[in-house]
C-alpha cells in the first residue's frame, strides 16, 4: 500500500494558510458543511488512533510499527517482532547486558594535528587517498596454496614490488620509522614511544590477496587490478581484504608524522604476506620476531582485520570481534589400481571418494552455544537496541538460556548456525588423467571451522570414524593422520592434516571499568556517531592474529569502517572511499588516545 499524502497544506495551522485553504473552496454552505464534517471525522479518527496506541502500549511490545506520514498513519513493520518500545522492565533487564559505551575523544591541542585532521576531511585528501589505495591494488600480490618456501619459489618476488610501492607512496614513514624485513617479505615498522613504561600498540594487516578466478573476469565492471575510482568506490582485488586497512594505517602514520605527533606509547606495524594461505611464511615469522623483541604480553593491544558494520534486525550494529573460530584443513587420498575403463571394478576411486563426500556433508556436528562465544554479546545488544529484534529470543537472553537461544535463533535465521557449530566444506577434488583410464589417485580437500568450546581432535575423530566405515566396506586400509607424509600404500585411504588452529583465546569485553575494549568501542562511537550501537562479536574467518596470541591479551579483529562489507573475495570487490576515509580517521584518533591513557586501561 502506498503512503497517503498529507491532507492539509503545510501552512494550514497559521491564519494566512487557513484563509488560502478555505478560499480555494466554493463559497457554498453545502461545501462548508462537507468540509466541516470531513475535519470532524478526521479528528475522531486521530483520537481513536491515539487511544489505541495507548492501549497497545499498556500491553507491552507493539505488534506493529506506527509511522506518521502527513495527517495519516500506516504500518510497515513485520508481525512478530519487537519495535522501538518494549515493556520497560524487560528493556531495562536487556540494557544491563548491553550498556551504551560513552564516546571517548582524544585531546587535540597541537596546531599541526588540527591541520592534519582538517586535511584528512578535505576533498584533496579524498582524491589523494583514492589514488593511493588504487595504486596499491594495481600491484598484484595474489598468493596460491601451492606456493613453496620463500627463497625457493620465485613467485614470492611479487611482494618486493609491493614494498617498492609502499616506499614510494610513504617516503616520510620509511624515513621516520625503523623498518624490519622478516623472512624477506614480512614488514615491521617500529615507532618508539617517549614513555618506556607504556607497552606499545600493534596494528596489523596483510599485503597478499586471494587470486582472481579467470573465468569471472568478464563479470567485473572494472578490471580487478585496475584500482579504478569512480568518484564513490575504489575497485579491485584487495579493496576490502586487506589493502584497504593496510593503506589506512600507513596514511594515518603519515598524517601523524606530518602533524608533528610524538607518541608517548610506541607504535608497531606488522604486515604479513601470506595470510590468505595461513600465514606460515609471513605472520608466523613476524610473530617470532616480535616475541623475541618485545616479550610475551609485550603489547598493550593488537588490532587486526576483522568484523565491521553488520546489518541485522533492522539496524546497523558495529561489531568488534573478540574471538574467532578455529580451523582445520584436511586432505583424503585414495590409492587404488588403475587400468582400462573397459574392465572397471564395482566402485572406482572417484566413486568411493564421492561416498566419503556424502558422508562428510551428512554429518552435522553438535550445535552448542558455549560460554566463551561472544555472539551472545551481539544478540544482547541487538535485543536492547535493534529495531526489529525477534520477541521469541528475548526471554532466553534474559534467562541466559544459551542452548534454547541457539536453537530458536537458528530456526528463525539459519545463517547463525555456522556461529554455533563446527562446519565442514568440501572444497577441492583432484583425480583422473584420461576419460578411459581408471584413476590411481584421487584426493579431496576440505575446510572445517571449529566452533567455540570445541577442538581439532573432535573434528579429526569424527572424520576418522566416518571414513573408517567406508574403507572397511570397500576392503581398503585406512591410514589416519600419519606423523610423516609417506608414499600412499596400494588399496588405501589416507587422511592428512594440512593446516590447523584451535579456537582463539577470548578477549575481555568489559566496559564497567577502564579496558581495552572500552577504549576501542568509545573511540568508535566518537568517530562514527554517538548513536551507534557497538558490541563484541565472533569473527567467522581466521586472521594472522593466530601467530600473535602470546603478544597480548587484548586482541581485536576489527575493520573500523561504518560500511557493511560486500563482495569480499568475490567479483566486483570494492570499498566506498568514504568508508576508507572513516577508517583513517578512526586510526588517527585511536593512536592519539593510546598515548593519553594510562597502562591500567589494558590490564583487564
Can you give the C-alpha Rg of the chain in angstroms?
Answer: 30
User: Could you read off the pLDDT of 142-184 as tens digits, one per residue?
Assistant: 999 899 999 999 999 999 999 999 999 999 999 999 999 999 9
Give the CATH number of domain 111-323+504-602: 3.40.630.10
Distance CA 88, CA 93 (A): 9
Is the alpha carbon torsion for 566, 571, 577, 580 positive or negative? Answer: positive
Of residues 404, 433, 422, the one with CA closest to residue 461? 422
User: Could you read off the pLDDT of 311-352 as tens digits, one per residue?
Assistant: 999 999 999 999 999 999 999 999 999 999 999 999 999 999
Higher pLDDT, 238 or 74: 238
Give the model's pLDDT for residue 211.
Answer: 96
Distance CA 149, CA 282 (A): 11
pLDDT > 70 in the chain, percent:
84
Cell numbers 552448542 label which residue?
A: 368
Please name the fold of domain 328-498: Alpha-Beta Plaits (3.30.70)
Give the model's pLDDT for residue 306.
Answer: 96
- What is the pTM for the complete model shown? 0.83
Distance CA 598, CA 266 (A): 13
Residues whose CB falls within 8 Å of the CB of residue 321, separated by 6 or more in sequence, listed in order: 306, 307, 374, 536, 537, 538, 539, 556, 557, 558
- How big is the CA angle at 48 (ends 47 and 49), to the nearest 5 degrees? 90
Binding residues for Zn(2+): 206, 241, 276, 304, 569
Asked whether 539 and 557 are in contact (CB, 8 A), the reply is yes
Give the model's pLDDT for residue 489.
Answer: 85
Average pLDDT estimate for 548-558: 99
- The DSSP result for 204-272, as a single string, is EEES-BPPP-GGGGGG-SS-TTS--B-SSEEESTTTTTTHHHHHHHHHHHHHHHHTT---SS-EEEEEE
User: Could you read off the pLDDT of 530-540 as tens digits, one per residue?
Assistant: 889 999 999 99
Higher pLDDT, 435 or 91: 435
Asked whether 139 and 224 are in contact (CB, 8 A), the reply is no
Average pLDDT estimate for 283-300: 99
- Tell me the three cell numbers of residue 263: 607518541
User: Could you read off the pLDDT of 378-391 as tens digits, one per residue?
Assistant: 999 999 999 999 98
Give the model's pLDDT for residue 79.
Answer: 28
Catalytic residues: 208, 275
Give the model's pLDDT for residue 262.
Answer: 97
Give me the phi and psi of 528, to 5 degrees please: -100, -5
Q: How confident is the model at residue 567 (pLDDT cuts 50, 70, 90)?
A: confident
pLDDT score of 91 more than 80: no
Distance CA 396, CA 408 (A): 9
pLDDT score of 73 more than 60: no
Give the model's pLDDT for residue 486.
Answer: 63
Give the model's pLDDT for residue 530.
Answer: 87
Give me the phi and psi of 123, to 5 degrees please: -60, -35
User: Could you read off the pLDDT of 249-272 as tens digits, one per residue?
Assistant: 999 999 999 999 999 999 999 999
Asked whether 516 and 104 are in contact (CB, 8 A), the reply is no
Give the model's pLDDT for residue 40.
Answer: 63
Distance CA 506, CA 370 (A): 12
Please state, rounded to an integer, the average pLDDT across all residues of the chain: 88
Binding residues: 206, 241, 276, 304, 569
Give the model's pLDDT for residue 177.
Answer: 99
Amino acid at each position: 500500500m502506498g503512503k497517503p499524502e498529507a491532507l492539509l497544506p503545510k501552512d494550514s495551522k497559521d491564519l494566512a494558510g487557513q484563509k488560502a485553504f478555505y478560499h480555494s473552496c466554493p463559497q457554498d454552505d453545502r461545501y462548508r458543511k462537507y468540509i466541516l464534517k470531513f475535519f470532524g471525522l478526521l479528528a475522531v479518527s486521530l483520537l481513536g488512533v491515539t487511544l489505541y496506541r495507548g492501549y497497545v502500549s499498556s500491553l507491552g511490545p507493539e505488534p506493529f510499527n506506527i509511522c506518521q506520514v502527513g495527517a495519516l498513519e500506516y504500518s510497515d513493520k513485520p508481525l512478530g517482532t519487537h519495535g522501538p518500545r518494549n515493556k520497560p522492565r524487560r528493556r531495562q533487564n536487556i540494557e544491563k547486558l548491553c550498556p551504551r559505551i560513552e564516546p571517548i575523544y582524544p585531546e587535540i591541542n597541537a596546531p599541526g594535528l588540527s591541520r592534519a585532521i582538517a586535511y584528512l576531511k578535505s576533498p584533496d585528501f579524498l582524491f589523494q587517498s583514492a589514488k593511493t589505495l588504487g595504486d596499491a591494488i594495481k600491484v598484484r600480490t595474489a598468493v596460491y596454496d601451492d606456493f613453496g618456501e620463500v627463497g625457493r619459489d620465485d613467485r614470492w618476488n611479487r611482494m618486493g614490488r609491493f614494498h617498492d610501492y609502499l616506499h614510494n607512496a610513504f617516503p616520510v614513514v620509511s624515513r621516520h620509522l625503523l623498518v624490519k624485513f622478516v623472512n624477506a617479505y614480512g614488514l615491521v615498522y617500529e615507532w618508539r614511544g617517549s614513555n618506556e613504561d607504556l607497552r606499545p600498540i600493534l596494528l596489523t594487516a596483510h599485503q597478499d590477496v586471494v587470486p582472481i578466478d579467470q573465468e569471472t573476469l568478464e563479470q567485473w565492471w572494472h578490471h580487478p587490478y585496475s584500482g579504478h575510482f569512480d568518484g564513490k568506490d575504489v575497485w579491485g582485488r584487495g579493496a576490502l581484504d586487506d589493502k584497504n586497512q593496510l593503506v589506512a594505517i600507513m596514511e594515518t602514520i603519515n598524517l601523524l608524522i606530518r602533524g608533528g605527533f610524538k607518541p608517548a606509547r610506541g607504535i608497531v606495524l606488522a604486515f604479513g604476506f601470506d595470510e590468505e594461505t595461513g600465514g606460515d611464511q609471513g605472520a608466523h615469522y613476524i610473530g617470532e620476531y616480535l616475541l623475541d623483541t618485545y616479550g610475551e604480553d609485550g603489547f598493550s593491544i593488537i588490532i587486526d582485520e576483522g568484523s565491521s558494520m553488520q546489518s541485522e534486525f533492522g539496524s546497523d550494529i558495529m561489531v568488534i570481534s573478540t574471538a574467532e573460530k578455529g580451523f582445520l584443513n584436511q586432505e583424503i587420498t585414495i590409492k587404488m589400481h588403475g587400468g582400462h575403463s573397459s574392465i572397471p571394478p564395482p566402485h572406482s576411486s572417484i566413486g568411493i571418494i564421492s561416498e566419503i563426500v556424502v558422508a562428510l556433508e551428512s554429518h552435522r556436528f553438535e550445535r552448542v552455544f558455549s560460554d566463551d562465544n561472544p555472539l551472545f554479546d551481539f544478540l544482547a545488544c541487538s535485543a536492547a537496541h535493534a529495531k526489529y529484534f525477534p520477541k521469541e529470543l528475548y526471554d532466553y537472553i534474559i534467562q541466559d538460556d544459551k542452548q534454547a537461544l541457539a536453537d530458536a535463533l537458528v530456526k528463525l535465521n539459519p545463517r547463525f548456525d555456522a556461529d554455533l557449530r563446527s562446519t565442514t566444506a568440501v572444497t577441492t577434488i583432484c583425480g583422473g588423467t584420461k576419460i578411459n583410464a581408471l584413476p590411481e589417485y584421487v584426493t579431496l580437500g576440505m575446510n572445517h571451522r571449529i566452533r567455540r568450546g570445541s577442538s581439532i581432535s573432535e573434528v579429526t575423530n569424527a572424520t576418522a570414524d566416518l571414513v573408517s566405515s567406508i574403507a572397511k566396506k570397500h576392503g581398503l586400509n585406512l591410514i589416519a593422520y600419519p606423523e610423516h607424509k609417506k608414499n600412499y600404500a596400494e588399496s588405501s585411504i589416507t587422511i592428512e592434516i594440512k593446516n590447523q588452529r584451535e579456537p582463539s583465546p577470548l578477549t575481555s569485553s568489559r566496559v564497567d571499568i577502564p579496558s581495552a575494549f572500552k577504549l576501542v568501542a568509545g573511540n568508535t562511537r566518537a568517530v562514527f556517531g554517538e548513536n551507534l550501537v557497538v558490541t563484541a562479536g565472533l569473527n567467522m574467518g581466521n586472521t594472522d592474529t593466530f601467530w600473535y596470541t602470546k603478544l597480548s591479551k587484548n586482541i581485536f579483529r576489527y575493520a573500523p569502517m561504518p560500511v557493511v562489507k560486500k563482495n569480499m573475495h568475490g567479483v566486483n570487490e570494492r570499498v566506498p572511499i568514504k568508508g576508507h576515509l572513516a577508517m583513517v580517521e578512526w586510526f588517527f584518533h585511536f593512536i592519539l588516545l593510546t598515548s593519553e591513557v594510562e597502562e591500567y586501561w589494558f590490564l583487564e
